Amino acid sequence: MTIMAVTAAQAQAMRRPALQAAVDTSARCAENPDNSTDEPAEYLWFRGDGEKLAAWHLRAAYLRRYCTGCPVLEQCRELALREGDGDIGRGDDMVRAGLTTQELGYLAREQEVRLARAVAADRLAAEQRRAVNQAAARVTHALKPTGPVEVARSELAAAVAARRASNGWGRAA
Ligand code: SF4
């Protein structure tokens, strides 16, 4: 499936399920970004235990470039920010959405108010979705063929059919 790249402003206006769906279907990192290793893809995005800083910086630079070719970079970045990824006090030990841990932390600090609103709006939307689903389930349950009205109707139809049959009107129901 081809996905159209969105701007940062468009990603910021999206609710969390839409952001997640875009990343789930089109994340470039779902492939292994470095064919020279057998390590699982997710490992490559973190600094390894004991990995020399110079080696990590080289790898991080490569990963950041890799993200620039990702069709869902903005959705991924927005998700990372809403999930609280990034920590100014921590070293650069991860790359996500083309940014290091520290860079994500700075961005989150800069956009603190907007992010708090977005997270609250996501929570509200999730509650509303749950309420709609529960109401729909109650309607479905009430309309079930095994509900009391339908059971009474089918018993009546059976009684009518039995009476017609016993009166010699054949098997008509
Ligand atoms: S922007 Fe980078 S980390 Fe995010 S989904 Fe794309 S490739 Fe993966």
Q: What is the pLDDT of residues 10-57, one digit of tens each?
A: 999 999 999 999 999 999 988 766 656 666 677 789 998 899 999 999
| 56 belongs to a structural domain | yes
Q: Decide if 39 is inside a domain.
A: yes
Q: Is residue 147 part of a domain?
A: yes
Global pTM?
A: 0.76
Do the domain assignments include residue 127? no
Residue 110 burial (CB count, 10 A)? 11
84 and 42 share one domain: yes
Residue 157 structure tokens: 């139809």
Quote the DSSP letter at residue 33: S
**Domain of 173?**
143-173
What is the number of the ligand 1 atom nearest to the C-alpha of 72? 6
Q: How confident is the model at residue 160 (pLDDT cuts 50, 70, 90)?
A: confident
Chain segment 87-128, per-residue pLDDT in tens: 888 778 999 999 999 999 999 999 999 999 999 999 999 999
Cα 173 to chain centroid distance, Å, stands at 51
Domain count, the chain: 2
106 and 164 both lie in a single domain: no
Looking at the domain assignment, is residue 61 inside a domain? yes
Residues 101 and 159 in one domain: no
Comparing 60 with 134, the larger pLDDT belongs to: 60
- Residue 132 is assigned to a structural domain of this protein: no
Ligand 1: list residues with CB < 6 Å.
Answer: 23, 27-29, 67, 70, 72-73, 76, 96-98
Ligand 1 atom with the smallest distance to the CA of 73 is 1
- Range 2-8 contact pairs with CB under 8 angstroms and sequence separation of 24 or more: 3/71, 3/72, 4/71, 5/71, 5/72, 5/73, 5/74, 6/74, 6/75, 7/74, 8/74, 8/77, 8/78
Mean pLDDT, to the nearest integer, of 158-163? 78
Position 76 scores a pLDDT of: 97
